[in-house]
């Protein structure tokens, strides 16, 4: 079991326009109303990079920036873990379409955005950081994999780590075989020790066996949790929003799962 602390949160999804507004919804104080994700380019990036940034990069930078504004930390001083079940799905569709026609000419921008750690690269430019960065993909278990990796780095390396999880839909025809309901991103700043900014302590326990995942009480939020891999972290955000002790279970691969025990600081 690993004990870590949550110091900052970023959130952006359908009807969840930032942590300040979203936390009242997740706490049950305000009704959830689904609406298109309010995606916007981050002012952290220079103008040239903003023009080249696709949807997943905008998502990742938006929630990462909000988490650091929430905690008051310098974004250049933390290690990063990026996790996404697909990466830049729009770009993957565009490249496949180009390769299916003639001439097969893929632009340099499309090529460099096609790699799974593209968001990490843009973040390093935006945050002016040389701290370690990890990019993961684990299909529907991508959030769990990212949280587990982050907890290990915080515990073993005694590091401050920001976990950034993001996903967005494929265009058709890929959407028909890999449906992702909506653009969604979340970020958590995780620390090895409690600080004056700590919101909660969190015990992370990797456990064998299948589990009944913790669900959201609101039907719309539960549909979002099920239908977007990055949104598997919503029950954890709900526990943080309520400011109460809670236990959260998240499924992982091969009939394993992660148990979280959350306690407010």
Question: Would 56 be classed as within a structural domain?
Answer: yes
Q: How confident is the model at residue 112 (pLDDT cuts 50, 70, 90)?
A: low
Average pLDDT value for the chain: 93
**In the predicted model, is pLDDT for residue 230 greater than 90?**
yes
Residue 200 lies in a domain: no
pLDDT digits (tens, 9 = 90+) for 74-95: 999 999 999 999 988 887 877 7
Distance set, CA 242 to CA 78, 199, 262 (Å):
26, 11, 11
Residue 128 to residue 262: CA distance in whole angstroms: 32
Q: Identify the pLDDT of residue 90.
A: 81
Average pLDDT over residues 227-244: 97
- Mean pLDDT, residues 6-14 taken together: 97
Q: What is the pLDDT of residues 154-174, one digit of tens each?
A: 999 999 999 999 999 999 998
Does residue 29 sit within a domain?
A: yes
Which range has the worst mean pLDDT, 83-97, 140-154, 191-205? 83-97
Provide the percentage of residues in the chain whose pLDDT is more than 70: 100
**pTM score, whole prediction:** 0.95
| Residue 210 is assigned to a structural domain of this protein | no
- pLDDT, average across residues 187-210: 96
Q: Please determine, for residue 120, whether its predicted confidence score (pLDDT) is greater than 80.
A: yes
Q: State the pLDDT at residue 113.
A: 77
For residues 117 and 258, give the distance between their C-alpha atoms in angstroms, rounded to a whole number.
25
Inside any domain, residue 45: yes
Residue 118 inside a domain? The answer is: yes
| Confidence tier at 111 by pLDDT (50, 70, 90) | confident
Could you tell me the pLDDT band of residue 175, with boundaries at 50, 70 and 90?
very high
User: Does residue 142 have a pLDDT over 90?
Assistant: yes
Q: How confident is the model at residue 238 (pLDDT cuts 50, 70, 90)?
A: very high
Domain range enclosing 177? 2-195
CATH number (domain holding residue 106): 3.40.47.10
pLDDT confidence of residue 94: 77
Please count the structural domains in the chain: 1
Mean pLDDT of 212-229: 97
203 contact partners, CB below 8 Å, separation of at least 6: 1, 2, 3, 260, 261
In a domain, 232, yes or no: no
**Residue at 231 is within a domain:** no
């Amino acid at each position: 079991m690993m004990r870590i602390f949550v110091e900052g949160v970023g959130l952006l999804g359908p009807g969840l326009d930032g942590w300040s507004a979203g936390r009242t919804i997740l706490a049950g104080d305000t009704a959830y109303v689904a609406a298109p994700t309010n995606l916007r380019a981050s002012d952290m990036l220079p103008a040239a990079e903003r023009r080249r940034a696709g949807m997943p990069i905008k998502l990742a930078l938006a929630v990462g920036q909000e988490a650091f504004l929430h905690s008051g930390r310098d974004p250049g001083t933390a290690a990063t873990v990026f996790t996404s079940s697909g990466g830049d799905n729009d770009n993957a569709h565009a490249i496949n379409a180009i390769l299916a026609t003639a001439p097969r000419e893929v632009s340099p921008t499309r090529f460099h955005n096609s790699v799974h750690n593209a968001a990490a690269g843009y973040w390093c430019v935006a945050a002016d950081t040389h701290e370690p960065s990890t990019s993961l993909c684990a299909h529907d278990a991508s959030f769990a994999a990212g949280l587990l990796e982050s907890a290990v780095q915080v515990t073993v390396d005694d590091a401050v780590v920001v976990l950034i999880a993001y996903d967005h839909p494929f265009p058709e025809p890929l959407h028909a075989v890999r449906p992702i309901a909506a653009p969604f991103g979340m970020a958590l700043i995780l620390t090895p020790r409690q600080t004056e900014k700590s919101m909660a302590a969190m015990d992370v326990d990797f456990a064998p066996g299948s589990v009944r995942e913790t669900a959201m009480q609101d039907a719309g939020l539960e549909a979002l949790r099920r239908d977007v891999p990055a949104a598997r972290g919503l029950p954890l955000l709900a526990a943080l929003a309520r400011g109460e002790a809670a236990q959260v279970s998240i499924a992982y691969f091969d009939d394993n799962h992660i148990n979280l025990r959350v306690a407010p600081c």
